[in-house]
Structure 1
Amino acid sequence: MGLIRKIKLLCDEKKVTFAEVERKIGISNGQIRRWDNSSPKVENVKKVADFFNVSTDYLLGRTEYKHLDEPITIAAHHVGEEWTEEELEEIERFKDFVRTKRKEHPQKGK
């Protein structure tokens, strides 16, 4: 889904128009609709994201998660398997590694 379509959906949810968003974030009238034919300035995308309280990655289609803090649950069940203390420590180290990568590259891979 493209940037304009996402903004339109957010406008519908919040019951505002493009013009109202533009006025409130301080960009020129009609600017958002022109993004269909030109690339918006990064700063303006940030302003729109802040207005709707969503991530820029969500607006740009890099993730389906609207908010940076949406929880992601990963679960694994291994029925009948016994884990050694060393294996459990390895799993914890891997979880820490993933958390570190998340901090370095927020929303990457979603």
Structure 2
Amino acid sequence: MKKNRCEVFKMVSFGERLRLLREEQNFGQKEIGDLLSVSVSSIGKYESGERTPSPDTINKLADFFHVSADFLLGRSEVRESAEIILTRFNIGNGLPEEALKEFDEVKNYILHKYGKKQQS
């Protein structure tokens, strides 16, 4: 039985998430390294858990894969931050930080509420 993308990412480490995202988008380690100015060996060590990337590199990876840093670090199952979603739909321009936080809270509430119902 094939697992959906959400199931695959549950309970996996940073390195595993990085590898899954990279493979999902059909990139090799060298391509990611070249695009982010990180050595191939560093990408391999991140994926194997031998090395932890700097916060700057984590942010670059999150931006590159269009996911939140929290998702990449395994702190959230929500792939996209409120800012990414608002930008995608071109509705976040000029909104104050408080509005972005409220949008994020509403998004998380909806995902939590309906995610629970789907599991029942």
Length-normalised TM-score, structure 1: 0.61
Identity %: 26
Residue deviations 1:1-60, cap 9 Å, x none?
Answer: 111111111112111112111111111221122221222111111111111111110000
Q: Which residue of 2 aligns with 1:79?
A: none
Q: 1:59 & 1:27 partners in 2: Cα distance?
A: 17
Query: Highest CA radius of gyration, 1 or 2?
Result: 1
Q: 1:9 & 1:53 partners in 2: Cα distance?
A: 14
User: After the TM superposition, which residues 1-110 of structure 1 pair with which residues of structure 2 at under 5 Å, given as runs?
Assistant: 1-35=12-46, 36-69=49-82, 99=102, 102=105
Q: 1:44 & 1:101 partners in 2: Cα distance?
A: 24
1:16/1:100 CA distance change after superposition, 3 Å: closer
Q: 2:51 & 2:13 partners in 1: Cα distance?
A: 13
Q: Which residue of 1 aligns with 2:90?
A: none
Shift, 1:101, TM fit? 9.1
CA RMSD of aligned residues (A): 2.8
Shift, 1:100, TM fit? 9.0
Shift, 1:99, TM fit? 2.7
CA contact 2:17–2:72 (8 Å) conserved in 1: yes
Q: 2:104 & 2:42 partners in 1: Cα distance?
A: 35
Q: 1:100 & 1:7 partners in 2: Cα distance?
A: 26
